[in-house]
Structure 1
């Protein structure tokens, strides 16, 4: 079956947009299957840079149909703004498909997200404040608003009333905020209906029919493995499942239809938001990685926390996702270091641990055990094949491959679309 899942193998921000865009010209559909506009992809095409937050990266590839699946939560204003911005730059967005079962981020979801995070104080999670978590909570509590509800005013009104019955009590009595009017929310949401209508579709049917016709479908995860609600560094995680299993539930395709699972790995490690990060650097090396790598969140605008490559995390990602391949990004950022530390294990309470501890307490106390690998000083941005890389860069890639447990089939040597070495084809 020509179905591929492409996902982040660390804490997100690994360069999934570049990887998706690389494959975009060879696939028929690119599908976002979870998350919302709390995920960001930067794609560089020629001298043009595109920052995508909600749309699948495949929207930049002519001939490819971009799909927002049922597992995504959608802020209509953000989606329409993003579409408008691309249209103004000459990008054809008319082929976009939006699942009628995707849940809508309402104004009250955003309000609840922001006031809750402030209320937590020192215990805050580090959310983006965009309403993603509360929207998923509404979905699970069965009081969520779906895209299809925008086309039945009676149902929409009933659902908003039901949601605000509780939320207004919380906002006024707990957080000392003003109550939100039902009519105001309904009016705002109905205002999006006609604008979204051309894109709304039964995407589950469309995608399964495409696979039956031997079309190539790429499922694109937002965030990363260690931010997965079930398998990440809980509670410092997102509210959905970026791992490979999330593609099945978030797009409505069976697991037997997935043929390849590609994990995106940065040649070092970054993280945005709160939570444990064993290899995090607080010195000149950390600042250099941030500066050279341009490590600022596409969606959040926050500086990313930076650290050395963590092979323990990579092995974990291979296991929980069933990874068949890795795409290693930003290898060029490491150019110039005489020696490059790689975390090969943790020390926890004086013991060496080579697999990710299941205990939150243990992971918080994990100290990295480093192995030093020789660096390189040559510019690698013009490399077109693996043999073009300096010997030490080749050795670094091979070492990461052996430690991580899956073959590295592509290597990013620069931000541009053409600055990629393909070791093995993904298709």
Structure 2
């Protein structure tokens, strides 16, 4: 029996997973999304063309690969219908779990209304309805993709839900659709997506039993995990590698190599603790050079130096076998580069990631910068200081770096 390899983000998301999945997936038979929703934004550049993926797995650019949206994903059918129009001939190579939960328009309206009410204490969500969709799932009030195949019944069930929650929806100012509007919408979703809905658990099991090569594509990042991230400023799913097992329907014994994706620096979107955030010129340069604006929201990302303490913590949670370091070229031209090697916390020096991250101060070490790594494709061709930076990341995190990206293009990648 084969095992499924896993790509997981090791920081606060936006690490560059899309490029690595796209690059490596040429060697796989199946690529599966396991959690999250269209709050994910995986950007792929190939032959100078930019593709922005949100729900569709990043293996979609390879015509011979089967792409699966697993049961752990919350699916916005309205958004998915638009997204799949970028691609031709998806039948037979794209499937959606019948157990994946629906993320409908009212979920997004609830999400946005609750964020507005929180004011300055807002989580900083994407406003895409991810949290409310997962909340319905956990409270056993949700609806699944398989129900789209009977739009009349689903429409009746949703109208009952709206009636039962009328006072709550009225308080938030959420306007519900009429029954006719909703039914027309659901019928459209069935027409466009019904042919892709399947029992993907059985598909994955059969693929593993047939020694097919499977890649699991994580979304968001480990530090946004609902249990192990910087709660409450997290996403609503388990983003660690273990979440991929429940999100696609395999056992931990069926996970093979775990590749952790990290940026050569650190970014974060939304609110929450960020010890190494740089509020000066260096952070602005990272943002501008790295084009650090959200694929999903367009929001400017907060930028700062590499946090080895956070990455070591996340890599242990994920069981990372090797790192892929992304966007090393964004640090081109800095005289000095910094790495956070420890924290100061309550008057002590600590080398672990505390639950109370709000009250830590980073302890940095400075390394010499380098001129240019952009476009380099061999490790030996990297400037000596860039090699030293990679090696220091390995030393501080205890994990080897196997892949280094030196530009957004697929080909500008060092594989060690």
TM-score by length of 2: 0.97
In structure 2, the partner of 1:389 is 382
1:216 to 205, 213, 217: 213
1:144 to 142, 145, 155: 142
Q: What value does the CA root-mean-square deviation take over the aligned residues? A: 1.3
Q: Does the 8 A contact of 2:335 with 2:369 survive in 1?
A: yes
User: Measured at CA, do residues 177 and 32 of structure 1 come closer, stay the same or move farther in structure 2, by a change above 3 Å?
Assistant: closer
In structure 1, the partner of 2:365 is 371
Select between 150-159 and 379-388 the one with higher mean Cα deviation. Answer: 150-159
Q: 1:417: how far off?
A: 0.3
1:77 is the counterpart of 2:78: yes
Q: 1:156: how far off?
A: 1.1
SS in 1 for 2:278: coil
In structure 2, the partner of 1:420 is 413
Q: Does the 8 A contact of 1:310 with 1:343 survive in 2?
A: yes
1:354 to 351, 356, 373: 351
In structure 2, the partner of 1:291 is 288
* Aligned pairs, number: 414
Structure 1 distance, partners of 2:324, 2:131, is 29
Describe how 1:105-144 pairs up with structure 2 within 5 A: 105-144=103-142
Q: Does the 8 A contact of 2:311 with 2:397 survive in 1?
A: yes
**1:107-131 C-alpha deviation (Å, 9 max, x unpaired):** 2111111111111111110111111
Q: Does the 8 A contact of 2:342 with 2:349 survive in 1?
A: yes
Q: 1:3: how far off?
A: 1.2
2:401 to 388, 404, 408: 408
Structure 1 distance, partners of 2:173, 2:190, is 32
In structure 2, the partner of 1:21 is 22
Moved over 6 A (4+): none
In structure 1, the partner of 2:257 is 260
User: Measured at CA, do residues 154 and 198 of structure 1 come closer, stay the same or move farther in structure 2, by a change above 3 Å?
Assistant: closer
Structure 2 distance, partners of 1:31, 1:178, is 35
Structure 2 distance, partners of 1:364, 1:60, is 41
Unmatched tracts of structure 1, length 5 or more: none
Structure 2 distance, partners of 1:7, 1:371, is 27
**1:346-387 C-alpha deviation (Å, 9 max, x unpaired):** 1112211110002xxx3101110001111111x222322211
1:192 is the counterpart of 2:194: no
SS in 1 for 2:27: coil
Unmatched tracts of structure 2, length 5 or more: none
**1:163-198 C-alpha deviation (Å, 9 max, x unpaired):** 2134321121x2345454445334312321021122
